Structure 1
Amino acid sequence: MERITSRFKFAYSYIINSIGFYPSIISLFFFGLSLFMLYMEANGLSKSFKDKLPFMIITDEATARLILSSITTGIISLTVFSFTMVMLVLNQASANFTPRVIPGLISYKSNQRVLGLYLGTLIYTLVIMVNIHADYYSIPLPGFSIFLAMCFTILCLSFFVYFIHSISQSIQIESILESIYHVTSDRLNDEIAKDKGTGIPGVFDTDKTWHPLKSPQTGYIQNMDRGAVLEICSEYNVALYFEQPLGAFLVEGVPFARTDKPIDDMDGFTDKLFAHVDFFREERPSVNYLFGFKHITESAVKALSPGINDPGTAIKAIDYLTALFSLRMRLTDEKVLYDKKGKARIRFEHETFGNLYAMCLGPIRLYGKGSSVIVIRLLYLLHSLLYKVQSRPHLKPILYREALMLLHDADKEISNPGDRLQINHQVKQLNARQILDKELPLLNVSL
């Protein structure tokens, strides 16, 4: 039963992030509405409205069929055009930014609802059309239902204008970066709220003998049903140590975790464990905050490439990374999960702050080391993080090391004396705060 529950949770997560989720739900609603309206028509709905509001009721069969066929043709064209526009937007986003932002664009609920309205109106109209003077029952012309189809068509036209505005806004890099930032920060705040601190229970003592678990399949381990996995560990009375963080790539037959004691049926334990582990290709920041850092970094690197050459976008990406790193500093590098009795059962590592900081700033530094604007912005990132690092002194060497590498590259690539003076001005401001253990070196300036 637990295995079915976990599979259902993973399937639900996949379905609600699909581009077809809301269109399917809305289409089913309109189909049900069409059947309900036909039932009401059979009970004299149009007849009662005809006496009170005759202008709302269509009484001519030829006119009704002409209206419904025109609506059907128009909505089909509108739907095809809208879906084509979505595909073009996704293709442009993949080419100009990074292919990994596509799942985020697809998951925009507003656009899905508009497409669902188109499909729902089309289904409603078709159902009403085939039931005009049908042979298998005798009802008057469903005039009020036809009037509703006209109203839905007008609504579709109104939302089409909104759709054009929304899709043109969603393709802008500012909108994409802001969306990734908010999803990532929400996920980070959730992790911070669940963080128990830096203490590692003695059950995870690395000096004792640990027994490896081999991965039964190859792929990215993106998520797991933590409650179910904790129950499995409690059932076998073992502690489980994941050697890699969620989001890591597992290779079949290669150890990915270890238990603190041997298990007689190790294969059975592994099968039960992997029944509650999810593998999928998409990198969604809502599942793992690391993906949000990666997406913003890749957008900045793509903007700095010679083919795009958009330092403004890179600066915006660095600003969002600054805010995310200030949040990440509040999270410990390792995580421990406890069962219902308060006993430590699972330990797995986050991507350490140092690795994450290097992973994001390394590519930006590589592609932007010849631009004084990018170098100064990266120094400003350091300037902002220094306000947070005083309560976390163990992170000071990481910030200092990355700053040294940035200045080393800038010293080699930037030769203009004016640009070097601006960089030195920013470095002097950093040194004046006296937060880092050692002062950062200044660039040599020869006028």
Structure 2
Amino acid sequence: MKELWAKFRTVCFSIQSKIAFYPSLFAIIGFFLAFVMIYAENRGISAYLMENTPTLVVNNGNTALTILSACITGLISMMVFSFSMVMVLLNQASTNYSPRLLPGLISNKKHQVILGIYLATILYCIFIAISIQPDGESYQIPGFSVLIGIIFTVICMGAFIYFIHTISQSIQINHILDGIYESAKNRLSFLIKDPADTTKDFPDSKNWPEYYTEKSGYFQHLNLKNLKAVCDNEEISIRILPVKGEFVLKGNPLFRASKKLDEKTLKELQDTIVFSRGELVSRNYALAFKQITEIIVKAMSPGVNDPGTALNGLDYLTELFSMRMLKNDSSIHITDKGNRIKENVLDFKELMYNVMASLRTYCKEDITLVQKLGLMFQYLKNRESIDPGFYNVINDEAKTLIFDAFEEITNPKDQELLKELSEKLNLNN
């Protein structure tokens, strides 16, 4: 039962990033609510209200149908407009910033919930309208259900105003950068506090049996609860080989186990490793570095030429690097029975190199951005680090940046600024 529940949670997590998830969920709620209200009408709720508070009940069939028809027509128009605005947002983000931003924008719960409210109200009004019969002496118009539909429509109007507000913010680059930063910050804060990032003892796994992937996809996350249970049941330790966020091809090495596994155990272990075709910052903080780097690179491309956005992106990168310096380059989980599960982690050196390799290519000719990067290095060298070796990585990347900048920037005044920057960073040129 626990395994089925864990699998259900994994499936729910994988579909939460789909734009149709919350709208579909709310549509089902609206559908069932309509039948609940029809049942309540058959039990005489409108007749009771007519006797006690007649002003709350629409007691004319034609009027009720006219009101519901107007609500349905207006809500469909609002929903179409809202979906169009979402598509415009996604298109602009992909064109102006980076296609990697799309999964995060699509999974925006606010927009999904608003579209879901529209859809639920439309379905509710449709089924209530269908339930209205011609007037008759013995027939009571479902006036209270119509009132509920009117209230839901008013709520949709408020949601529409809020949607316009949020969509106008979502298109702004500062809002996008802040969203990426907050997601990565929350994930890094969680990992820094996780005991798995402070444990370093793990046996040599070079000669352990190696097992391979059965399908291709991005390695998204581990279902640790189930994985620990399998390791304890089989008395084994596991080393996960790919780095989280890496695209793993079918047949590539996936993990090593401390002993040979049977088919059943192998299947249980593979079910705890979740693959997907998309990536989210909330599960992989390294993706935030990629996204912000790509925004900076796109801003500095000749077609866009927006150094202001690049400078903003560097501010967020500086904050994230300072947080990453508080996290170990290892992640080892210990089960209840003392078995170990080791995840491969993108180390600080490789992370900074990947970021700086792209930034140097597009920023080394701009003295303003080189100075900003120099301030980033200066700030990081003065920050607390869990590993003294991180300072050497920062120093090496700073030297490489200054070297490339001297090669590209020939203006004597700008070169004087580079020399001053080199001195501030205590670089031995």
Against the structure 1 CA distance between its residues 147 and 219, is the aligned structure 2 distance closer, same or farther, given a 3 Å change threshold? Answer: closer
* Aligned-residue offset at 1:390: 6.2
Q: Of the candidates 364, 368, 373, which is equivalent to residue 368 of structure 2? A: 373
Is residue 276 from structure 1 mapped to residue 269 from structure 2 by the alignment? no
| Conserved 8 A contact 2:402-2:422 | no
Contact 1:239 1:345 in 2 (8 A): yes
C-alpha distance in structure 1 between counterparts of 2:115 and 2:213, whole Å = 41
Amino acid at match of 2:274: D
Superposed displacement of residue 284, structure 1: 0.4
Aligned residue number for residue 4 of structure 2: 4
Q: Aligned match of 1:347 in 329, 342, 345?
A: 342
1:245 aligns with 2:243: yes
Q: Does 1:294 align with 2:287?
A: no
Shift of 1:215: 2.6
Is the contact between residue 45 and residue 144 of structure 2 (CA under 8 Å) also seen in structure 1? yes
CA–CA distance in structure 2, aligned partners of residues 392 and 191 of structure 1: 16
Q: 1:124 corresponds to which residue?
A: 124
Change (3 A) 1:217 1:20: closer
Q: Separation in 2 of the partners of 1:196 and 1:68?
A: 57
1:136 to 1:107, Cα distance in 2 relative to 1, 3 A? farther
SS of alignment partner, residue 234 of structure 1: helix
2 CA distance for matches of 1:157 and 1:264? Answer: 58
- Structure 1 residues 231 and 148, CA gap change in structure 2 (3 angstroms): closer
Task: Work out the CA distance in 2 between the residues paired with 1:268 and 1:83.
Answer: 45
Determine the structure 2 residue equivalent to 1:222: 220
Q: Is the 8 A contact 1:15 1:21 kept in 2?
A: yes
- State the partner residue of 2:425: 430
- In 2, the alpha carbon distance for the partners of 1:323 and 1:7 equals 36
Pairwise mapping of residues 97-246 of structure 1 onto structure 2 (< 5 A)?
Answer: 97-133=97-133, 139-196=139-196, 200-201=200-201, 203-205=202-204, 209-246=207-244
Compare 33-42 and 10-19 and name the one that shifted more: 33-42
SS at match of 1:333: coil
CA contact (8 A) 1:389 1:396 kept: no
- Give TM-score, length-normalised by structure 1: 0.88
Matches of 2:40 and 2:120, distance apart in 1: 19
Indicate the larger mover: 126-135 or 305-314.
126-135
Residue 303 (structure 1) aligns with: 299
Tell me, in whole angstroms, the C-alpha distance in 2 between the residues paired with 1:153 and 1:14.
31
Q: Are 1:93 and 1:171, in contact at CA under 8 Å, matched by a contact in 2?
A: yes
Deviates more, 1:377-386 or 1:105-114: 105-114
User: Does structure 2 retain, via aligned residues, the 8 Å contact 1:221–1:249?
Assistant: yes
CA-to-partner distance for each residue in 1:222-253, whole Å, 9 max, x for gaps? 21211222232233333222233222232333
Deviations 1:61-100 (A, max 9, x none): 2222222212111111111111121112111111111112
CA distance in 2, matches of 1:42, 1:117: 26
User: 1:414 maps to which residue?
Assistant: 409
Q: Closer, same or farther in 2 for the Cα pair 1:70/1:396, shift >3 Å? A: same
Whether the aligned pair in 1 keeps the contact of 2:374 and 2:398 (CA below 8 Å) is yes
Instruction: Give the drift of 1:312.
Output: 1.3
Q: Can you list the C-alpha shifts for 1:242-301, whole angstroms capped at 9, x where unaligned?
A: 23322223233333332334x163x55432211211110111011111112211111111
Alpha-carbon distance in 2 for matches of 1:299, 1:156: 34
Per-residue CA deviations over 1:305-337 (Å, capped at 9, x if unaligned) read 112111111111111111111111111111111
Distance 1:368 1:345, change over 3 A: same
Q: Secondary structure at the match of 1:72?
A: helix
Q: Are the counterparts in 1 of residues 377 and 394 from structure 2 also a CA contact under 8 Å? A: yes
Q: Which residue, out of 342, 361, 383, partners 2:378?
A: 383
Task: Verify: 1:332 aligned to 2:328, yes or no.
Answer: yes
User: Secondary structure at the residue paired with 2:242?
Assistant: coil
Determine if contact 2:232/2:336 at 8 Å carries over to the other structure.
no
Question: Judging changes above 3 Å, is the alpha-carbon distance between structure 1 residues 325 and 137 closer, same or farther for their aligned structure 2 residues?
Answer: farther
Task: Verify the 8 A CA contact 1:300 1:313 in the aligned structure 2.
Answer: yes
- Structure 1 pair 422–66 and aligned structure 2 pair: CA distance change class (3 A): same
| Aligned residue identity for 1:360 | V
Cα contact 2:212–2:251 (8 A) shared by 1: yes
Residue 249 of structure 1 aligns with an amino acid whose one-letter code is F
Q: What is the match of residue 401 of structure 1?
A: 396
Separation of aligned partners in 2, 1:158 and 1:146: 19
State the distance in 2 between where 1:256 and 1:72 align.
Answer: 52
Instruction: Letter of the 1:61 partner, please give it.
Output: G
Q: Is the 8 A contact 1:42 1:139 kept in 2?
A: no
- AA paired with 2:376? L
1:320 matched to 2:319? no
Cα distance in structure 1, aligned partners of 2:209 and 2:252? 13
Q: CA deviation at 1:118?
A: 0.9
Distance 1:40-1:257 versus aligned 2 partners, 3 A rule: closer
1:60 aligned partner: 60
Cα 1:321/1:57, change in 2 over 3 Å: same
Q: Aligned residues, how many?
A: 429
Give the gaps of 5 or more residues in structure 1: 432-438, 442-447
Cα distance in structure 2, aligned partners of 1:353 and 1:340: 30
Where structure 2 has 5 or more consecutive residues not aligned to the other structure, the ranges are: none
Deviations 1:348-376 (A, max 9, x none): 22101000011112101211111111111
Counterparts in 2 of 1:390 and 1:62: CA distance versus 1, 3 Å: closer
